[in-house]
């Protein structure tokens, strides 16, 4: 009987390994949403749920990894079209709304003190405005003596949903930007230093005097970077924060598609550069139980995760949108998982 012991041990090990794997949900992608998924994962596990591991790799990489079945879910701030979802064998739903902000490194200037318009930001990122004392910036800030420091543009190096949100906004407010550069998770930048992830952009801006970049709001706070005020679609000067993010989210029209970039929303209090962050799942997973484990995590998040959303300065989805998403989950059939979420 002794020879059977190694075989029995191997079988027991294999069963334990499968059980352990089943308890771990893996995800990657969106850096904008990374703090939220990481905090949710810790709280979910503490509440008795399984283990969730998420890596901030950028939205473009997240889409690649989920399409290749290397992770259980991907985070993306760039919503895919029906055609893209069908081609890649994926489905998606939004989970929260976040803000993107311009940040600068200008000694002596406090957070929110400098004001910029969308048009001026486009001119800076096009390389048309090269110094901080340019007349276009000085006119907007008559009470600040702007330095004659060269502007160092910092942008994302990797494919990024944050970049999509930023370039979508610039395309809305600047015909020249739309014509010459356009929008996307990756674009042909006229100039600038590339940083990987929000972390990379925040690091470059923090170390380069005269730098300007765009990053998610949570990284701005975490790194204590100097953000600028902006004019919104109503022509009102606003600063980033929970109040102006909430105003933008409240004015968004969710009656049609759930998949949209929420930039330049109407309302005098609305922050102009906003976007929803999305989860991508395999529409036809090799192991259906993996999707079930993943959806258990997000079911918990929709039921219990709102305080964390607000604590991290994201904005919860409207209750009606959450109802649409959860209804779709429960209506999905094994042979009909490609069906778009209600309202798409």
Read off the pLDDT of residues 77-93 as tens digits, 9 standing for 90 and up.
888 888 889 999 999 99
Which range (40-54, 109-123, 268-282, 325-339) has the least confidence? 325-339
Q: What predicted TM-score, i.e. pTM, was given to this entire model?
A: 0.81
Portion of the chain with pLDDT greater than 90, in percent: 64
Indicate if 100-274 has the same CATH topology as 21-97+275-331: yes
Read off the pLDDT of residues 149-202 as tens digits, 9 standing for 90 and up.
999 999 999 888 899 999 999 999 999 999 999 999 899 999 999 999 888 999
Mean per-residue pLDDT for 32-61? Answer: 94
Domain parsing of the chain, residue ranges: 21-97+275-331, 100-274
Q: Which CATH number fits domain 100-274: 3.40.190.10, 3.40.50.300, 1.20.140.10, 3.40.50.2300?
A: 3.40.190.10
Q: What is the 3-state secondary structure (H, E, C) of the chain?
A: CCCHHHHHHHHHHHHHHHHHHHCEEEEEECCCCHHHHHHHHHHHHHCCCCEEEEEECCHHHHHHHHHCCCCCEEEECCCCCHHHHHHHCEEEEEEEEEEEEEEECCCCCCCCCCEECHHHHHHHHCCCCCECCCHHHHHHCCCCCCCCCECEEEEECCCCHHHHHHHHHHHHHCHHHHHHCCCCCCCCCCCCEEECHHHHHHHHHHHCCCEEEEEEHHHHHHCCCEECEEECCCCCEECCCHHHHHHHHHHCCCCCCCCCCCCCCCCCCCCCCEEEEEEEEECCCCCHHHHHHHHHHHHHHHHHCHHHHHHCCCECCCHHHHHHHHHHHHHCCCCCCCCCCCCC
Mean per-residue pLDDT for 21-43? Answer: 89
Which is the CATH superfamily of the domain at 21-97+275-331? Answer: Periplasmic binding protein-like II (3.40.190.10)
Which range (111-115, 141-145, 310-314) has the least confidence? 310-314
Read off the pLDDT of residues 193-203 as tens digits, 9 standing for 90 and up.
999 988 899 99
């Amino acid at each position: 009987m002794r020879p059977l012991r190694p075989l029995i041990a191997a079988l027991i090990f294999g069963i334990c390994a499968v059980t352990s794997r089943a308890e771990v949900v893996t995800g990657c992608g969106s850096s904008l949403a990374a703090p939220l998924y990481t905090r949710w994962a810790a709280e979910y596990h503490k509440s008795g749920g399984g283990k969730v591991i998420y890596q901030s790799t950028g939205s473009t990489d997240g889409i690649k990894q989920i399409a290749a079945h290397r992770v259980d879910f991907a985070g993306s701030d760039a919503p895919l079209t029906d055609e893209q979802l069908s081609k890649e064998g994926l489905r998606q739903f939004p989970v929260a709304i976040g803000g993107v902000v311009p940040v600068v490194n200008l000694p002596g200037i406090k957070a929110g003190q400098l004001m910029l318009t969308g048009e001026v930001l486009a001119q800076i990122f096009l390389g048309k405005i090269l110094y901080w004392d340019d007349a276009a910036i000085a006119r907007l800030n008559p009470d600040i003596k702007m330095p004659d420091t060269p502007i160092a543009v910092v942008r994302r190096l990797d494919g990024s949903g944050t970049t999509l949100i930023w370039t979508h906004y610039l395309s809305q407010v600047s015909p020249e930007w739309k014509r010459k550069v356009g929008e996307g998770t990756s674009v042909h930048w006229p100039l600038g230093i590339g940083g990987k992830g929000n972390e990379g952009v925040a690091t470059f801006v923090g170390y380069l005097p005269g730098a300007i970049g765009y990053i998610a709001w949570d990284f701005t706070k975490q790194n204590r970077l100097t953000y600028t005020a902006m004019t919104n679609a109503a022509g009102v000067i606003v600063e980033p924060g929970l109040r102006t993010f909430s105003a933008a989210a409240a004015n968004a029209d969710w009656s049609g598609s759930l998949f949209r970039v929420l930039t330049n929303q109407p309302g005098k209090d609305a922050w102009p550069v906003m976007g929803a962050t999305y989860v991508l799942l395999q529409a036809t997973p090799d192991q259906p139980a993996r999707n079930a484990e993943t959806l258990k995590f997000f079911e918990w998040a929709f039921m219990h995760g709102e305080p964390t959303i607000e604590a991290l300065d994201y904005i919860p989805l409207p209750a009606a949108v959450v109802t649409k998403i959860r209804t779709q989950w429960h209506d999905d059939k094994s042979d009909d998982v490609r069906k778009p979420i209600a309202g798409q």
